Structure 1
Amino acid sequence: MDRLRIGIIGLGWFGEIHAETIAGVANLELAALCTRTPERLAEMGEKFGVKKLYRDYHDMLADPNIDAVSICTMWDQHREPAIAALKAGKHVFLEKPIASTVEDGLAITEASKSAKGILYIGHIVRFNPRYRMAKQAIDEGRIGKIVALSSRRNIPAAWTPTILDKIGPIVGDAIHDTDIMLWFTGQRIVSAYAQTVDVRGLKHPDIGQTMYRFADGASATLETVWCMPEKTPFDIDERMSIIGTEGIIHVQDTFPNLGIVDGDRLHSPDTTYWPMFEGVRGGALRDEFTYFATCALDGKEVTIGTPEDATAALEATLAAEESARTGNVVRIG
């Protein structure tokens, strides 16, 4: 077999982006779609030319001609389809966060250990070339021992009203930087302290600011703002600094890496994660799917986006959210 026939479970905005990305991956074939909303299912089936359309993911998993699934349901709806897909022998690409509770993350991890198919968790930032180069420099010992890290991951308010009714900025976005910091340091996070700011009165606060302590004594600060002004000219303000005993690394993936001025305003669109070229997504998301397909087809072990790493990042961000609610430092492990 030189191609995986893959189905998507969950057709919200990011499920659609997954479909647009899969279309550009040579060893993947978008073979099936699943959502409970019949109008959305018909719309996406027509858009992508997919004939196998399901409203119940169990029916998709029963199809022997589906080799793999991409799960893009809400984070609190990951456990059941992920475990069912693994039990059905499918390869599973599960979007981050791995789950909404550590218990569910551990259950998914346990199910993957005896599964025929592989399990990959979609922590996309590991496929951003700037962070990959930073990791390479760290592994080469070029900055010595890491003693401090800081990150910023801020996005415009227009993106987030619907999202903030489902997930907050710490678990929703700072989990990316948490995962990267765990990857860079190779250390456990042992405590978390966080504060949040409610700007618009939505279900979850708009702003999260987090501090971590790592097992070896290193510290980290993470800023996540989901309410930058409407006229902000860029899609994301993303930065990270890694300070070592012998050097520093600074990652910046933000305005103005590309500037487009039109009749409306200055735009600086995403050029890294899922940029669109002639109707097909590229960037880090395509690299993720290529990695997933290659591991599945070649029988390789998943070493990036493992469920163990994803659960560690989830545990730390949930601890940070608990800290923000209680005002206390939360110990982990």
Structure 2
Amino acid sequence: MSSPLRIGVIGLGWFGEIHCDTIIGLPNLKLSALCTRTGDRLEALGKKYGVQKLYRDYNEMLADPEIDAVSICTMWDQHTEPAIAALKAGKHVFLEKPIASTVEDANKIVAASRDSKGILFIGHIVRFNPRYRMAKQAIDAGRIGKIVALNSRRNIPAAWTPEILNKIGPIVGDAIHDTDIMLWLTGDRIVSAYAQTVDVRGLKHPDIGQTMYRFAGGATAMLETVWCMPEKTPFDIDERMSIIGTEGIIHIQDTFPNLAVVDGNKLHSPDTTYWPEFDGVRGGALRDEFDYFARRALANEQPQIGRPEDAAAALAATLAAEESARTGNVIRIG
């Protein structure tokens, strides 16, 4: 396959647009098609990016032989059908996390990927955060010994979440990032989950999730996910993780306070890691993630980061945690 990889984006909500902003800045990708059921949105983004191939039905996009790959940014409970259809069509697939909304659907997507000519990459972006990548290197080098405990915090302001909380809760929505990273760093599997939630604003899903995991090797983990930090919180995200080993410890802190901008309103600490924008193009971890996907797809090599099996394991653990929060029971994971 000749470079660049010709890619279409399915799902043009706010993050689908960020995907487009990222793709246009990469020399090994060409944004070639867009798909959404919302006609005016499709027309507006087609003009923004100069894309001529506009579809309201993703099956029509998948039938186009000039499209090599797709990015799927639909809601998590609408991943299964387009992902399987794209894989059956032989396209390379970048599928946003969570891989699906049920373990059964995740397994269907994983199975479809094994029979496809295209590769399947799941967009667990935190694996492309350089701080976590350096932590992984240190752990793999044996610098902290055996991991015995982990804890994480991934908290965001309330202003971000009213609409999101009517679609997905904080454990599957955000703690899945830390769950995936913990699985990656330990190389282990989670065998049980216990969680509690707090409903602050009376939305469809609770605002706060507190989760505990037990790993097969004996390590434990605690994950804090608060989606209702006060409106005047000066940073976009409070993200931290500690990994405690028998011979050392690693502490990761991201976003706040690595940049502070004070204006007439308040102090702001915007994201500088995941998808910062420069001159209309997105950079950071999302750019690195798409570059990795494109290089793997162009070489027709299965990804070693963002594997569908890993994404399915993270989904299973977070869904078990949500079940625990509903029932008050510790949930065993097979």
8 Å contact from structure 1 (residues 4, 27) kept in 2: yes
Deviations 1:175-198 (A, max 9, x none): 000000000111110000000000
Q: How far off is 1:300 after superposition?
A: 2.0
Aligned partners of 1:248 and 1:264: how far apart in 2? 38
Structure 1 gap ranges (5+): none
Deviations 1:150-195 (A, max 9, x none): 0000000000000000000000000000000000111110000000
- Equivalent AA in structure 1 for residue 60 of structure 2: D
Aligned partners of 2:124 and 2:318: how far apart in 1? 14
Q: How far off is 1:116 after superposition?
A: 0.4
- Map 1:25-40 → 2, pairs under 5 A: 25-40=26-41
Aligned partners of 2:317 and 2:99: how far apart in 1? 13
SS at the partner of 1:7? Answer: strand
Q: How far off is 1:298 after superposition?
A: 1.3
- Map 1:137-148 → 2, pairs under 5 A: 137-148=138-149
| Structure 1 counterpart of 2:204 | 203
Aligned partners of 2:146 and 2:28: how far apart in 1? 40
| Structure 2 counterpart of 1:256 | 257
Q: How far off is 1:2 after superposition?
A: 1.3
Deviations 1:7-62 (A, max 9, x none): 00000000000000001111000000000000111111111111110000000000
| Structure 2 counterpart of 1:274 | 275
SS at the partner of 1:202? Answer: coil
8 Å contact from structure 1 (residues 239, 254) kept in 2: no
- Choose 253-262 or 119-128, whichever is displaced more: 253-262
8 Å contact from structure 1 (residues 144, 246) kept in 2: yes
SS at the partner of 1:142? Answer: coil
8 Å contact from structure 2 (residues 255, 272) kept in 1: no
Aligned partners of 2:255 and 2:300: how far apart in 1? 36
TM-score, normalised via structure 2 length: 0.99
| Structure 2 counterpart of 1:108 | 109
Structure 2 gap ranges (5+): none
| Structure 1 counterpart of 2:83 | 82
- Map 1:99-138 → 2, pairs under 5 A: 99-138=100-139
Aligned partners of 2:300 and 2:101: how far apart in 1? 29
| Structure 1 counterpart of 2:190 | 189
Aligned partners of 1:157 and 1:279: how far apart in 2? 26
Aligned partners of 2:292 and 2:179: how far apart in 1? 22
Aligned partners of 2:211 and 2:27: how far apart in 1? 40
8 Å contact from structure 2 (residues 255, 270) kept in 1: no
The percent identity for this pair of structures is 82
Deviations 1:277-320 (A, max 9, x none): 00000000000000000001112221100010000000000000
- Map 1:228-267 → 2, pairs under 5 A: 228-267=229-268
Aligned partners of 1:252 and 1:105: how far apart in 2? 31
* RMSD of aligned residue pairs (Cα, Å): 0.5
- Equivalent AA in structure 2 for residue 252 of structure 1: Q
8 Å contact from structure 2 (residues 120, 302) kept in 1: no
Deviations 1:100-151 (A, max 9, x none): 0000000000000010000000000000000000000000000000000000
- Map 1:41-52 → 2, pairs under 5 A: 41-52=42-53
Q: How far off is 1:262 after superposition?
A: 1.0
Aligned partners of 2:68 and 2:177: how far apart in 1? 28
